[in-house]
Amino acid sequence: MRAGEPDKEDVPPPGESLTAKLFRSARGAGRAPAGAKASGQWREAALLAGLIAMGPVLTIAGAQMLAVQERGQAERLEAQLAPRLARRASAEQARDLLSPVISRATLGATFEALARGLPKDASVVRAERGADGTLQLALRTPDPDALRAALRRVPALSGLREVGQQRSDAAMIVLLQGAGT
């Protein structure tokens, strides 16, 4: 062996192919007389065609077996995950139910906005927030028009609408209802 020169040894010729070995063994197993040589070739061709056709058939059968196994495993995983998914769904439902309550200002913040916006001669008779989040106020004032004008200037109370008035001793009680803050 010299550097830069190819090896002198010859590469051995390729061996007999698998198909040739298969045909040779098939010929040897069923030795036919010389006159039946043509039928042997048909048999070899049919055997080769059968082997070629078996590839896709076995592939499809194997794929179907794997698909059945994977479906079974997916069903087992779904059964294991069902409690988790149910807990997650109930948590999301609770979050959806609580989000309006959490996002709305507290009654204390509403009172602060009301205290800033009420005229000096007005006072709160009753304040209530319903289960649906509706704010109901009863405000005592000698001048309902001045009260309405003052409340319109407070953005936090812009969702309140007047639903009625009642006369009391020397003043009017204005009933308001709405989203408020």
Q: What is the mean pLDDT of residues 151-167?
A: 85
Distance CA 69, CA 73 (A): 6
> Residues in the chain, how many?
181
> Tens digits of per-residue pLDDT, 126-150?
888 887 778 888 999 998 888 888 8
Query: 39 pLDDT exceeds 90?
Result: no
Distance CA 91, CA 68 (A): 34
Which of 24-38, 52-66, 106-120 is the least confident region?
24-38
Give me the pLDDT at residue 30, please.
Answer: 54
DSSP reduced 3-state for 136: strand
Residue 123 pairs in a beta bridge with: 140
Query: 65 pLDDT exceeds 80?
Result: yes
DSSP reduced 3-state for 175: strand
Mean pLDDT of the chain: 83
**Which helix (H) or strand (E) segment is 53 a member of?**
helix 37-103
Distance CA 176, CA 70 (A): 63
Tell me the backbone φ, ψ of residue 47, rounded to 5 degrees: -65, -45
Highest mean predicted confidence (pLDDT) among 47-61, 108-122, 126-140? 47-61
> Tens digits of per-residue pLDDT, 94-112?
998 888 777 777 778 888 8
